[in-house]
Amino acid sequence: MSMVHLSKKDLVSILDLNKEEIESILNVSEMIRHKHKNREMFFPLLGKSLGMIFTKSSTRTRVSFEIGMFQLGGAALYLNPTDTQIGRGETIADTARVLSRYLDGIMIRTYKHSDVLELAQYASIPVINGLTDDEHPCQIIADLLTIKDKKKTLKGLKVAYIGDGNNVCNSWMYAAPKVEMNMAIASPLGYVPAKNVTDKATELAYAAKTQMLITQSPEEAAKDADIIYTDVWASMGQEAESEKRKKEFARYQVNEALLKSAKKDCIVMHCLPAHRGEEISAGVMDGPQSVVFDQAENRLHAQKAILSLLMGK
């Protein structure tokens, strides 16, 4: 399979990708996964190095990027801001310029989306958004790979996102129209996606002739859904609001009752970590419709494809 390189040097947002590029990443993900399962050698990043900047803690992002680079023949370097000059006031622009002299790519997982944009602006090497408060593009690519595995297609499917209008929801709202999926979001008032995200997603959906619904009713969102998706009610940095959010999100749990609104062959997704008994019931998470651990595994394969397409030659 030919490796079609992406039109931009960075992956900061799902908005950086068009439909063909998303399809290319998914195809390369499948190819890389097939080679990995068959223990075939595939080292497109031999001798290449990735710096990984973390200001937000991580399980899946850290492990999948680090082991992914190793499996592609490269090396990954973990950079904690407290151990680097970023934590002592060096500007992001200067950090970007210096790291560009040492590394072949940077992955950053942080709070402010503007930090990633600035890093990408000043770095001469590819920058990958491993998560910000605004977006989580790598997660959504892994999600689309998982859906393609289970449903064989993406076009025309309906995804119902139940819960907080957060970074994962934002990236999903940008991605769904690009792959011709319909989307419904159910969030309590005060927790709906931001207006600028909704406006852009609505514009994309209109152009793609797909549906984009925002409602306060989980049942309405889940009606005839092919995929039900949820995430934690309080993201990193929102722990102080946890008890308040538990009350306000109480009727937004993905449970056996809500699944009755969806299609019989609906799959259930969660980007993890999950708080069982809050946003998802243990019965659904461990049930036959759950694909959450396949989804977690696909972070590895999808990110290896992203790394290969951005950093490979």
For residue 96, what is the domain's CATH number?
A: 3.40.50.1370
> Average pLDDT, stretch 6-16?
94
> What is the per-residue pLDDT for 1?
44
Domain boundaries, position 157: 139-291
Residue type, 3: M
Residue 53 lies in a domain: yes
In a domain, 122, yes or no: yes
- Say which of 138, 143, 271, 301 is annotated catalytic: 271
Q: Which of 60, 109, 113, 270 is catalytic?
A: 109
Report if residue 9 sits inside a domain: no
pLDDT tens-place string over residues 55-113: 988 889 999 999 999 999 999 999 987 777 776 788 999 999 999 999 999 999 999 99
Residue 7 burial class via C-beta count within 10 angstroms: exposed 0-12, middle 13-18, buried 19 and up:
exposed
Secondary structure of 19-40 in HEC code, one letter for each residue: HHHHHHHHHHHHHHHHHHHCCC
- Active-site hit among 231, 253, 270, 295: 231
Q: What is the structure's pLDDT at 4?
A: 62
159 and 281 in a single domain? The answer is yes
- Closest Cα to residue 156, out of 228, 230, 259, 227? 227
Marked catalytic residue, from 33, 136, 245, 301:
136
Res. 130: pLDDT tops 80: yes
Q: Domains in the chain: how many in total?
A: 2
pLDDT at 2 over 60: no
**pLDDT value of residue 57:** 82
The answer on 172 and 63 residing in a single domain is: no
For the residues of 112-132, what is the DSSP string, one character each? Answer: -HHHHHHHHHH-SS-EEEEE-
The verdict on 120 and 62 lying in the same domain is yes
One domain for residues 149 and 131 = no
Give me the pLDDT at residue 88, please: 72
250 and 263 housed in the same domain? yes
User: What percent of the chain is predicted at pLDDT more than 90?
Assistant: 89
Confidence of residue 146 (pLDDT cuts 50, 70, 90): very high
Residues 126 and 218 in one domain: no
Q: Are residues 108 and 147 in the same domain?
A: no
Question: Mind listing the pLDDT tens digit for each residue in 257-273?
Answer: 999 999 999 999 999 99
User: Is 2 within the bounds of a domain?
Assistant: no
Q: Which amino acid is at 212?
A: M
Instruction: Tell me what pLDDT residue 58 has.
Output: 87
Per-residue pLDDT averaged across 199-212, rounded? Answer: 98
Give yes or no: residues 147 and 167 share one domain: yes
Name the DSSP class of 310: H
Residue 107 lies in a domain: yes
Return the pLDDT at 82.
Answer: 76
Question: Residue 3: inside a domain, yes or no?
Answer: no
Catalytic residue among 33, 60, 113, 299: 299
> What average pLDDT does the structure give for the chain?
95
Any catalytic annotation for residue 271?
yes
Do residue 230 and residue 126 come from a single domain?
no
pLDDT over threshold 50, residue 193: yes
Specify whether 46 is located in the same domain as 125: yes
Per-residue pLDDT band for 235 (boundaries 50, 70, 90) equals confident
Decide if 299 is catalytic.
yes
33 is an active site residue: no
Catalytic status, residue 301: no
